[in-house]
Amino acid sequence: MEIVTELQQTLAETMVPGNLDTDRHSQPKIVVDELNLWYGETQALYDITISLPERRVSAFIGPSGCGKSTFLRVLNRMNDLIDDVRLTGRVLIDGKNIYDGSVDPVTLRRHVGMIFQKSNPFPKSIYENVAYGQRLLGKRKKAELDEIVERSLVQAALWDEVKDRLNEPALGLSGGQMQRLCIARALAVEPDILLMDEPSSALDPIATAKIEELMFELKEKYTIVIVTHNMQQAARVSDVTAFFYLGRLIEFGETRKIFTNPTKKQTEDYITGRFG
């Protein structure tokens, strides 16, 4: 029970009262309908129906192996790259089913950026990492690229640390810097939606705070979905929260409500740390 009160305090401190009102007016950006997913013979996701609001932060929580990453990867069709993945159901982004035959996953991924659980900078220079997406789009002009690289790095709160060493290899950065570099890299292509899979799992509290701050700024423009194991973080940064358990969506609603007054027993047990 102590943990619950602690969480309630955090919530009270961080959540802006006005948020909840606007939430009601926020349009759903992503609508998932009856989604089932199998890895070969084993089913990993069961009957997931959910709609995630535009320009808000949605958090996915749940014990390890419950399918959070799998579900996140459904949203930008990253699972296409894995053999043997099969799914049924619909995923609508801006009202269009992204699993429709006419949708090109390459174009889709340009609009739905992703930041991975393990940071994965390319073995290139810092500059080239950030410019990568724009180069794919065919941008060559140095001045334009320079500007985009700088803007993205500033947004990802990394500019000050790397501005003098843009041409050094990205793999020479610290773990936290690499993670922010991956964020900058994703921002550089200006997606609509940002999927973040435990973006701060490997970071120290200061870097984590920077990334959380960043999310507050980003949600003015982007729709953000974040997977996290850190309850405080979910409570601090998200507007809505979804709790997954064994491949099922157990409960979904406003973050304040999930954390203060969960309707399901499993949710309460997980949040209060009784399992997971």
Partner 1 sequence: MKQFLRSGDLFIWLTGVFLGICLLMISGLLLLIGLQGIAQFHPREVHFIEYQDQEGNRLLAFGQIYSSEQIPPDVLQQKGFRGASQREARRYLVRVGNRDIFGEDFKWIMGPTVTRDTLLANALVLEREENGNAYGILTTLRAPRGQHFETELDAWRAFERFHPLVRSLVHEVRDIEKREMGETNDAIRSLRLELRLMEYELEQGRLQPDQFQEAQRHIDAEVSKLELVLARQQDRIDSLRMHLAEYEIGLRVYAPEGEERVRIPLASIVRAYKPNIMSVSQTIAFYGEKVWEFVSDDPREANAEGGVFPAIFGTVLMVLLMSLAAVPFGVLAALYLREYAKQGLLLRIVRIAVNNLAGVPSIVFGMFGLGFFVYFVGGGVDRMFFPERLPNPTYGTGGILWASLTLALLTVPVVIVATEEALAAIPRGIREGSYALGATKWDTIRRVVLPSATPGIMTGTILAMARGAGEVAPLMITGVVKLATEMPFDSTFPFFHLDRKFMHLGFHIYDVGFQTSNVEANIGMVYTTALLLIIIILLLNLTAITLRARLRRKYRLVGF
Name residue 86's beta-bridge partners: 38
Q: Decide if residue 65 touches ligand ATP (CB under 6 A).
A: yes
Q: Which is nearer to ligand ATP, 39 or 46 (CB)?
A: 39
As a whole number of angstroms, the distance between CA 140 and CA 187 comes to 18
Lay out the site mask for partner 1 across 132-161 (x = CB under 8 A, - = otherwise).
Answer: xx-xxx------------------------
Q: Decide if residue 186 touches partner 1 (CB under 8 A).
A: yes
Which burial class, exposed, middle or buried, applies to 67 when counting CB atoms under 10 A from its CB (0-12, 13-18, 19+)? buried
Query: At a CB cut-off of 8 Å and minimum separation 6, what does 236 contact?
Result: 10, 14, 212
Q: What are phi and psi of 224, to 5 degrees?
A: -120, 135
Lay out the site mask for partner 1 across 101-120 (x = CB under 8 A, - = otherwise).
Answer: -----xx-xx--xx-x-x-x
Q: Which is nearer to partner 1, 113 or 247 (CB)?
A: 113
Structure tokens at 129: 């990492």
Part of the chain binding ligand ATP (CB under 6 A), chosen from 61-69, 188-196, 216-224, 262-270: 61-69
Buried b (16+ CB within 10 A) or exposed e, 174-208: eebbbbbbbbbbbbbbbbbbbbbbbbbbebeeebb
Part of the chain binding partner 1 (CB under 8 A), chosen from 1-9, 47-55, 77-85, 237-245: 77-85
> Using CB distances below 5 to 8 A depending on partner kind, what does residue 39 bind out of ligand ATP, Mg ion, partner 1, none?
ligand ATP
As a whole number of angstroms, the distance between CA 153 and CA 160 comes to 8
Interacting residues with partner 1 (CB under 8 A): 76, 78, 81, 83, 106-107, 109-110, 113-114, 116, 118, 120-124, 132-133, 135-137, 169, 171-172, 182, 185-186, 189
